[in-house]
Amino acid sequence: MLVNTKQVQSDDNRVVHPWDNIQRLGHNKRTIIAQSDGIYVHDSDGNRLIDGPAGMWCVNIGHGREEMVDAAAEQMRRMPYYSPWGLANVPAAELAARLVEHTPGDLNHVFYTTGGSTAVDSALRFVMFYNNYLGRPDKKHVISREKAYHGSTYLAASCSGKERDKNYFDFEQQRVHHLPAPNPYRRPAGMSVQAFCDEKVADLENKILEVGPEQVAAFIAEPVLASGGVIVPPPGYHYRCLEVCRRYDVLYIADEVVTAFGRLGHFFASEDVFGMVPDIITAAKGITSGYVPLGAVFISDRLLSDLNLEARKAAVFSNGFTYSGHPVACAAALKNIEIMEREDLMQHVQEISGYFLARLGELEEIPIVGNVRGAGLMACVECVISQDSKDPLSLDYEIGDRIDRHCQRLGLIVRPLINMCVMSPPLIISRSQIDELVNILRQGIANTMEDVRREGLWSPPPE
């Protein structure tokens, strides 16, 4: 495909991108991704790059799957769209039946949305609806964590906890509370991981008691804090948080927008990886492997039967979207699941993730790499000034970007997050492709280290 890169870059300057720096609007020269295949993308100048972040943690089955194209096209031909208000369509119903074969416990109902933010928002609105219906109008407070990312709708953004995303915005502050992130790498010096876990679980209980259990409706948590830097909580953390929630009649919303559909080697991570069955799960991204937008909220039978107890008094859940259960998106999701099952991608991730994390772990030899962590096929390389002090590089706004720029020249896209580089490649990645990814990343970090040394911004540790 022939693309006039300069023209597209110029036209693109009319697009306000997510997380755009408005001051740079009109002056960007973005890499144009023009084509893609397997774990690779091709820019408009014909350079091939490994898709390190799988788009945005989403192209799980990899790029260029003809079957997905056919499934979407076939559905468009047969029936492109019809209203989900009161009417049903075949793929949305079939998909619900397929999905609940994989959901944990009694999470046997699905509410379709258009993506992750609308899934989180709908989950939170459901919780409000639930408590209003049960005659508990004060039980509305939500507890979240620092470093969380739950989306860009007002309520989902209010539950997000990334400090640097708080500039120039307003948020719901009365009824949303944030706990410190359970990041074992940042635990106080001398504290064991076990004691750190105890402390983080106690944070939740203390916050519930401080706000008042009769006021706290839900705890929302990503199984692995993804955009906050792939923070894997200490063993037992989620299960113990669920126990605390149960003790105080607080609902547990597991935000699996990133972790569901294979990223951790299972369709859902809550039970299979973390041994707990939440009350609500939100999902998106990997549900269609990003081929078309779709999100989902899984709600437990228990919650829905609570709403049936009071002699079925009229209760209309007035929440939904024109594109809830979009037939084309649901047809794509059905095909996506079929591919994941047929190719046993869950098994593949379970087998290869140890190699992925071990190879990336070797990067801790580099002096500016403080910590490499991850789970399944998601990992984070965190850069620091000094491995001892663990201080993020003073160029922390830029160091990830600098590494990404070097890596792109070498053939790899990195997801830069301040002083961190996130890797979450398509799940089909092979061992030799992991080697290719790690070798480029190593070189990209080494080149960046050399730049900051030359610029006098960093100096090597004494021998």
Ligand X SMILES: Cc1ncc(COP(=O)(O)O)c(C=O)c1O
Q: Which residues bind ligand X (CB under 6 A)?
A: 115-117, 120, 149-151, 222, 226-227, 255, 257-258, 284
Q: Closer CB to ligand X, residue 92 or residue 225? A: 225
Residue type, 443: Q
CB 417 within 8 A of CB 227: yes
Tokens describing residue 56: 């945005």
Residue type, 292: V
The least distance separating ligand X from the CB of residue 89, rounded to whole angstroms, comes to 22
Q: Closer CB to ligand X, residue 282 or residue 433? A: 282
The least distance separating ligand X from the CB of residue 134, rounded to whole angstroms, comes to 27
Q: Closer CB to ligand X, residue 271 or residue 385? A: 271
Consecutive H or E run containing 381: strand 378-383
Q: Closer CB to ligand X, residue 112 or residue 149? A: 149
Residues near 51 by Cβ (< 8 Å), separated by ≥ 6?
36, 39, 40, 41, 59, 63, 413, 425, 426
Sign of the C-alpha dihedral computed for residues 288, 294, 300 and 301 taken in this order: negative
Position of minimal CB gap to ligand X: 116
By three-state DSSP, how is residue 297 classified?
strand
Provide the β-strand partners of residue 420.
382, 417
The least distance separating ligand X from the CB of residue 151, rounded to whole angstroms, comes to 4
Residue 427 sits at the vertex; the CA angle it makes with 421 and 431, to the nearest 5 degrees, is 80
Q: Closer CB to ligand X, residue 50 or residue 120? A: 120
- Alpha-carbon gap, residue 337 to 342, rounded angstroms: 8
The least distance separating ligand X from the CB of residue 116, rounded to whole angstroms, comes to 2
Provide the β-strand partners of residue 282.
255, 297
Q: Closer CB to ligand X, residue 255 or residue 271? A: 255
Q: Closer CB to ligand X, residue 18 or residue 26? A: 18
The least distance separating ligand X from the CB of residue 224, rounded to whole angstroms, comes to 9
Q: Closer CB to ligand X, residue 32 or residue 226? A: 226
Q: At which residue do the structure tokens 């219906």 appear?
A: 133
CB 148 within 8 A of CB 161: yes
The least distance separating ligand X from the CB of residue 77, rounded to whole angstroms, comes to 27
End-to-end CA distance of the chain: 52
The least distance separating ligand X from the CB of residue 189, rounded to whole angstroms, comes to 30
Q: Closer CB to ligand X, residue 349 or residue 378? A: 378
CB 440 within 8 A of CB 407: yes
Residue type, 231: I
Residue 340 sits at the vertex; the CA angle it makes with 335 and 343, to the nearest 5 degrees, is 115
The least distance separating ligand X from the CB of residue 253, rounded to whole angstroms, comes to 11
CA trace torsion 382, 386, 390, 396 (10° rounding): -50
The least distance separating ligand X from the CB of residue 259, rounded to whole angstroms, comes to 8
The least distance separating ligand X from the CB of residue 46, rounded to whole angstroms, comes to 29
Q: In what order do the strands lie in the sheet with 48-51?
A: 33-37, 40-43, 48-51, 412-413
Q: Closer CB to ligand X, residue 120 or residue 429? A: 120
Residue 94 half-sphere exposure, CB side, CA atoms within 13 Å? 15
